[in-house]
Structure 1
């Protein structure tokens, strides 16, 4: 099976490489590691399938498949298709006529996705797994996973999902782990594969799932072996397309690796100490089952949203005043860059806290800049007027493309810069942000 295969390590070099010079680009095969390892799992919510009368999800209804074998004595039964590769699912259903051209085009634009049809299977593959849950005759919640992916639950075993404790003490438990058979499309072949899945119950009748596995690769750099882990945030994705990487050296053995230690796509990792070789994480090629690392010459100035790197300078029009605002003009100040949107629940919930903190800041030393993504002028204007947002805002649009430039794929996201423009902290919110700014304010100028 694919997930149990151990791949021989080979680096495919792109371009010429002189002796002792950094590799320009390498592709490293993935080897699957079962379990959560040193990573903190999260959970994706099990959601019921949409109905044809649901305007938000009616377009997906034709992609659903009929199932059989639901226990007759269960009540309040729900079903869900857990998608293991969403792009493959969309493509094969578009080819089959189950997804309209309009919806297919919309998803491409929304996901900033240009399908490489040579790396996708026109023939439908099992890139999903069905799950059902309901209340049994004794009044207890139970669940079943279609582990053999035959759409028939009569040959599956029901189980009581472990209840996630309030202190998350059992978050890494793999009780009732199920091994699912599914398919992937690699190197022009449909390949049978297996993946573990864990389902837990939250408060009430809510259920979540994740996949207790990650991948590893090995790289020989200047005679030294480096082992990297390839992992999705929270282990909530079945594949590694948007995976992060982290070096598994002696310093991380027997410790928990936090999300903020992971190197995301388009971010940088240095192997071999401070003077080692710097690589950019270019993501995983699902078709070839490899992770791509791009070597960065030592004399190149690197900008990143990572802690310790210079933040790429910008110059754009402030939303309300229409005056040009630039990062260069803010040199000498601590600057909080807040990537947000009026549509983002987490972003909106944080605004009152930001309003309070901003009022108490010494503006000669601190500034906030909001960069608003995937939004409209009308919604932004109404929101800032209603909520008392007084710090500068920049609407990311087709002109400045700031969200694209900074590779922002999740909201909210904050970056705190020091007076030189270097990132000193990320994703500070609430009390953490207040404490950090107070610490800085107490420092002597």
Structure 2
């Protein structure tokens, strides 16, 4: 009888523990909204070059269009790359290895080996009057003859993106999920910048609510699947909470576990009160890491720099915006004291030889000499920078530009832990 009673207590204990773990994970159903919401707008450029693949599969190009560019707009970037990989009979394991480094969202989905409409074709040109015009294959039938010619609006100061988003056309596409291949629609907003270059974005966000607060969710407007970016904002707050970052709601801390596109839900994890918190958002302790020195077998840790500020720059020799920032970073390095602040350059997708060829004066490391540092810090754009205070807390992100030195000096002189 005693054994039966103990067994019963054990079952109850594990059941309660399991239920407690389940209640720490919150699934919030999402509702689609066709605009940019409160997020910073983001667009991708349409370079003046043609895609051979788009040209081969398209028909119905107007006969009087003698000179033009034709391209693919990727709606689901990972599916496009995957199906091209399969078509070429390349080793699928190599794609999976790359896919794991690209993807940030833990809520993975099944990609289709069969080619699907995960992109849309667009054709554009400059007409005799000097106007840029384009045709978008909105029904995705690879035929431009049943589509209208459109004139893109030019972006200017105080440009009304909301009205433009509302007037932009829907495009049919297919989305591969764990539930099969779904037929979907998304708005594609095509605009003209000051250099007369076309740019496009997907004005689509999602909304939900939690504890009487409205929440907006974004995929970043350049890829609709939340694979790379899964960010949310709580009403009346300007801070964007990226995937794996933490936010306080009422008396609890919650971690963003991303959007599950299979169920169209935002997933949050409620964090126990007694757990030490590390995150990549401002106000939290920086995630500890070790990384090997470039010319040594020894490693450094951010714990080595307690008592001084650390400026971390994730960059690459292949990244033009990163290279533009180097002179201002080197100037800031020369004009500050190592007793106050240390600089760490972390080169991503790079080699020792390429980094060394730049002869940079501040310490450099290869991200590949760490344990998934890019993933831990959720690096999806370059350059990305972090300023960490004397006690290891992140106090600022993405500090760069001409005022970098002034900003760093302000923190060094005025910031109190």
How far off its partner does 1:113 sit?
5.6
* Contact 1:228–1:247 (8 Å) recurs in 2: yes
Give the corresponding residue for 2:24: 24
Give the corresponding residue for 1:397: 368
Give the corresponding residue for 1:373: 348
User: Structure 1 residues 317-326 or 31-40, which shifts more?
Assistant: 317-326
Q: Deviations over 1:153-194 (max 9, x none)?
A: 1111111111122x3634555175111122223453433222
* Contact 2:252–2:273 (8 Å) recurs in 1: yes
What is the alpha-carbon distance in structure 2 between the residues aligned to residue 92 and residue 378 of structure 1? 34
How far off its partner does 1:23 sit?
2.9
What is the alpha-carbon distance in structure 1 between the residues aligned to residue 138 and residue 89 of structure 2? 30
Q: Deviations over 1:359-404 (max 9, x none)?
A: 1112221211222221111112222x2xxx2322222225544334
Give the corresponding residue for 2:331: 356
What is the alpha-carbon distance in structure 2 between the residues aligned to residue 191 and residue 399 of structure 1? 39
* Contact 1:214–1:231 (8 Å) recurs in 2: yes
SS of 2:225 mapped into structure 1: coil
Give the corresponding residue for 1:268: 246
What is the alpha-carbon distance in structure 2 between the residues aligned to residue 422 and residue 117 of structure 1? 31
Change (3 A) 1:269 1:242: farther
User: Structure 1 residues 112-121 or 170-179, which shifts more?
Assistant: 112-121
What is the alpha-carbon distance in structure 1 between the residues aligned to residue 233 and residue 134 of structure 2? 37
Change (3 A) 1:305 1:128: same
What is the alpha-carbon distance in structure 1 between the residues aligned to residue 415 and residue 248 of structure 2? 32
Give the corresponding residue for 1:236: 222
Give the corresponding residue for 2:152: 161
Give the corresponding residue for 1:227: 214
How far off its partner does 1:88 sit?
2.3
What is the alpha-carbon distance in structure 1 between the residues aligned to residue 177 and residue 386 of structure 2? 37
What is the alpha-carbon distance in structure 1 between the residues aligned to residue 284 and residue 82 of structure 2? 38
How far off its partner does 1:405 sit?
3.5
The two structures have a TM-score, normalised by structure 2, of 0.85
Supply the RMSD in Å over aligned alpha carbons.
2.9
Which structure dedicates a bigger proportion of its chain to helix? 2
What is the alpha-carbon distance in structure 1 between the residues aligned to residue 281 and residue 109 of structure 2? 34
What is the alpha-carbon distance in structure 2 between the residues aligned to residue 108 and residue 301 of structure 1? 33
* Contact 1:230–1:240 (8 Å) recurs in 2: no
Give the corresponding residue for 2:260: 285
* Contact 2:124–2:132 (8 Å) recurs in 1: yes
What is the alpha-carbon distance in structure 1 between the residues aligned to residue 168 and residue 143 of structure 2? 19
Change (3 A) 1:15 1:444: closer
Give the corresponding residue for 2:381: 410
Change (3 A) 1:114 1:209: closer
Give the corresponding residue for 1:127: 118
SS of 2:164 mapped into structure 1: coil
Aligned residues: 396
What is the alpha-carbon distance in structure 1 between the residues aligned to residue 133 and residue 102 of structure 2? 40
* Contact 2:108–2:260 (8 Å) recurs in 1: no
Superposed counterparts of 1:3-42, under 5 Å: 16-18=18-20, 23-42=23-42
Give the corresponding residue for 2:3: none
Give the corresponding residue for 2:59: 68
> Which one of 190, 203, 221 corresponds to residue 199 of structure 1?
190
* Contact 2:74–2:223 (8 Å) recurs in 1: no
Change (3 A) 1:432 1:293: farther
* Contact 1:74–1:135 (8 Å) recurs in 2: no
